[in-house]
Copies of this chain bind each other. A is one copy, B any other.
Amino acid sequence: MNKKERYDFELRMRVRDYEVDVQGIVNNANYLHYMEHTRHEFCRAAGFTFAEMHSRGIDPVLRKVEIEYLTPLTLGQVMISCLKLRRKGPRFIFVQDIFRDGDREPVARAEVTVVCLENGRLTKGDVLAQAFEKYLK
């Protein structure tokens, strides 16, 4: 891991064996699950759970994911799933890196673009931006 890289949030998770496919490596779609869970835990840590946002009519929705697969995870391995948040107008960009625990080998790197719907309509994202103010400076 680049020492200069600073993340807004980090989550440690162990691979669950059912996430590993017949090639002996974590199936590609599961990294999106790990990254989603990391975003939601980040929101929780920032005081805004996914459930609360949903019940207030605010729904963050994925628009785009660009993910590179670098080194696969396998049975029993532990990952550090890291995230930092950027804003480009109505779009929130989560830069998400997963590293293998221990040797910090890069596993996957993604840019995840989220927009914010309010009662089904695209917003400028100001409510979300205010909620995450301290991360967006």
Report A122 CB to chain B, min CB distance, Å. Answer: 13
A76 and B63 form a contact (CB under 8 A): no
Interface residues of A in 1-27 (CB under 8 A from B): 14, 16-18, 20-24, 27
B32 and A17 form a contact (CB under 8 A): no
Residues of B within 8 A of A21 (CB): 17-18, 20-22
Residues of B within 8 A of A36 (CB): 16-18, 27-29
- Bound Cα distance A20, B63 (Å): 17
Interface residues of A in 27-46 (CB under 8 A from B): 27-30, 32-33, 36-37, 40-41, 44
Q: Is the interface of A mostly helix, strand, loop or mixed?
A: mixed
Contact of A133 with B by CB under 8 A:
no
Query: Which of these, B29, B51, B54, contacts A18 with CB under 8 Å?
Result: B29
Query: Which of these, B28, B49, B65, contacts A76 with CB under 8 Å?
Result: B49
Residues of B within 8 A of A67 (CB): 64-66
Contact of A131 with B by CB under 8 A:
no
Contact of A126 with B by CB under 8 A:
no
Chain A interface (Cβ < 8 Å from any Cβ of B): 14, 16-18, 20-24, 27-30, 32-33, 36-37, 40-41, 44, 49-51, 54, 59, 61-69, 72, 74-76
